[in-house]
Structure 1
Amino acid sequence: MGVGRQKGRVRFCAATVVTAAVLAGSGVLAGCGSSGGPPDGGASRRASPAPKPVPVWNRSPRSVAAVGDSITRGFDACVPFSDCPEVSWATGTDSGVDSLATRLVGAPTAAKRSWNEARSGARMADLPGQMAQAARRVPDLVTVMVGANDACQDSVDLMTPVADFRTSFTAAMRRLRTGAPKAQVYVSSVPDLKRLWSTGRDNPLGRQIWKLGICASMLGDSQDDGAAAQRRRATVYDRVVAYNGVLKDVCAKDVRCRYDGGAVFDFRFTGEQLSPWDWFHPSKDGQGELAEIAYRNVTALRAPA
């Protein structure tokens, strides 16, 4: 009788294992002991939960490298027609701006822990070289603000094609990752050039300066409201929107990249926040606003939508 019951248990256990394996699609399940229970006494059911993944984005980077164009160089912000990097939104040391680097690193050490590799007049095609320079610093964070010069040309036909813009930005990110694989990247959207035109067009001095050729694709013939001028400005506007779409898309493919969600594009610069010498570049006050936008997004718990 005892042997028969033992054989019955073996046959029942074997049948149970085969049936469960078929239903679960698995070739191995817990075995059966002579008592019919799992051999580990149920320890497998008490396994510790998987550890939570460590967040990739560091909200407190301790060094900053900046790449980009004249905006990041502080052009026309404190000296007419000249760079003024001390008031740069990204790496400036002027207390009136309270740059991103100053807010993150602290005023006493910001100058030693931040580097401005941006160049006035730079386009997206120049960014791979700047990224290579930034990578040599091995910074915790790299800020990117570029694209306005790709749209600001003598005519709309000379604007950088969107496909070329994408190719250059992708190459720039690759160059950074080659030299600084763990550096975080904060990407600012390209400003709304049409809004800048709308804000500055009523200023007599601004109109005269614009005639010198500043961003002629958007600012040329600033008082012309004819159909052709409106189409030209709309074309520039659409190109900037497309550039920002590229920035967002390429950045989303890198786990250590954060796009500003269009915050700079959406920001409404006032007359006080534009340079009194060209009514186009940010003034010192405008640089401070850009620093605030960047700090808010870099330190946010989640990336902007």
Structure 2
Amino acid sequence: MASLGDSITRGFNACGWYVDCPSRSFSTGDDTGVNSHYLRIRAVNPAINGRNHNDGESGAESADMAGQADAAVSQGVGYVTMLIGANDACASSESGMTPVTTFRSNIDAALGRLKSGLPNARVFVISVPDIQRLWSVGRSSFAARSAWSLFGICQAMLANPTSNAQADVDRRNRVRQRVVDYNTQLAQACAAYGSNCLFDGNAVFNYPFALGQLSGWDYFHPNASGQQALAQISYAAGFGW
């Protein structure tokens, strides 16, 4: 199997200071505490042992998915997970978000390469998490607000986190709507792919994650507990290997 995506798929900040932790990836990791898709599948099909490829890249956006899909094709895998879109929305400002039509074109390009190169593989498309909930659970935390400001994290959503000004409320709602629109496009693109593609039905988007499931270094990426929850929620919405 192979995992496509961004820093969440890479397990970024789930085991060390600002480093990728692919062993704790919800999808292809081998950390027993996370209990990834890979480990859950291996429990019923030992033949997959050692055949877990993490093709994600921290900082990746939808435009990078076609290249990652090519990597999965070269690995000849039978199962692919794709979690992408948070960075498309988490721009330095609202105007920098990826347009919905561009996002869809990027997803179609990636899925097209998977379909042509791995016609028998199953593809699991996972919804983009609700980044407005990130603001909601962290806005009252001084540590979270400080990290968001210091590292310039997802300013399209997280700028002025304590402000109740109408302009800031409206901006957050528009950014959340962009994520909703991305998820709509992911669902539609997967449906157009055919029976070998499954969308998670917004299971991850709807999951009410808590502040304690986020890295204490950036209050953005899932920590080990967050990765474990992501593995459980997404796997339950998937193919049921």
Q: Same fold (TM over 0.5)?
A: yes
Report how far residue 293 of structure 1 moved: 1.6
Greater RCO, CA 8 A, separation 6+: 2
Report how far residue 108 of structure 1 moved: 7.1
Contact 2:131 2:157 in 1 (8 A): yes
Report whether the alignment pairs 1:68 with 2:5: yes
The residue that corresponds to 2:225 in the other structure is 285
Report whether the alignment pairs 1:210 with 2:155: no
Q: Partner letter of residue 270 of structure 1?
A: A
Unpaired runs of 5+ in structure 2? none
Give secondary structure in 2 for the equivalent of 1:186.
strand
Runs of 4+ in 1 over 4 A off after TM superposition: 107-111
- Across the aligned residues of Structure 1 and Structure 2, the Cα RMSD in angstroms comes to 1.5
Report whether the alignment pairs 1:176 with 2:176: no
Contact 1:69 1:145 in 2 (8 A): yes
Q: How does 1:90-169 map to 2 (within 5 A)?
A: 90-106=27-43, 112-169=50-107
Q: How does 1:235-274 map to 2 (within 5 A)?
A: 235-254=174-193, 255-274=195-214
Contact 2:198 2:239 in 1 (8 A): no
Task: Give distance in 2, aligned partners of 1:191 and 1:253.
Answer: 22
Give secondary structure in 1 for the equivalent of 2:237.
helix
Identity %: 45
Aligned with residue 221 of structure 1, among 151, 154, 160: 160
Contact 2:144 2:219 in 1 (8 A): yes
Contact 1:200 1:280 in 2 (8 A): no
Which digits, 9 at most, give the CA deviation of each residue in 1:262-295, with x for residues without a partner? Answer: 0000001112211111111111001001111222
Unpaired runs of 5+ in structure 1? 1-63
Contact 1:68 1:122 in 2 (8 A): yes
Task: Give distance in 1, aligned partners of 2:236 and 2:84.
Answer: 20
Contact 2:203 2:237 in 1 (8 A): no
> For the pair shown, which has the larger CA radius of gyration, 1 or 2?
1
Contact 2:94 2:171 in 1 (8 A): yes
Contact 1:93 1:110 in 2 (8 A): no
Give secondary structure in 2 for the equivalent of 1:290.
helix
Task: Give distance in 1, aligned partners of 2:214 and 2:48.
Answer: 25
Give secondary structure in 2 for the equivalent of 1:258.
strand
Contact 1:89 1:97 in 2 (8 A): yes
| TM-score computed with the length of structure 2 as normaliser | 0.95
Say if 1:81 and 1:110 are closer, same or farther in 2 by CA, change over 3 A.
farther
Contact 2:132 2:157 in 1 (8 A): yes
Contact 1:153 1:216 in 2 (8 A): yes
Contact 1:66 1:90 in 2 (8 A): yes
Q: Partner letter of residue 12 of structure 2?
A: F
Task: Give distance in 2, aligned partners of 1:289 and 1:282.
Answer: 9
Task: Give distance in 2, aligned partners of 1:295 and 1:207.
Answer: 31
Q: Aligned residues, how many?
A: 238
The residue that corresponds to 1:201 in the other structure is 139
Report how far residue 111 of structure 1 moved: 5.6
| TM-score computed with the length of structure 1 as normaliser | 0.75
Give secondary structure in 1 for the equivalent of 2:32.
coil
Report how far residue 298 of structure 1 moved: 2.3
Report how far residue 214 of structure 1 moved: 0.5
The residue that corresponds to 1:57 in the other structure is none
Task: Give distance in 2, aligned partners of 1:234 and 1:270.
Answer: 20
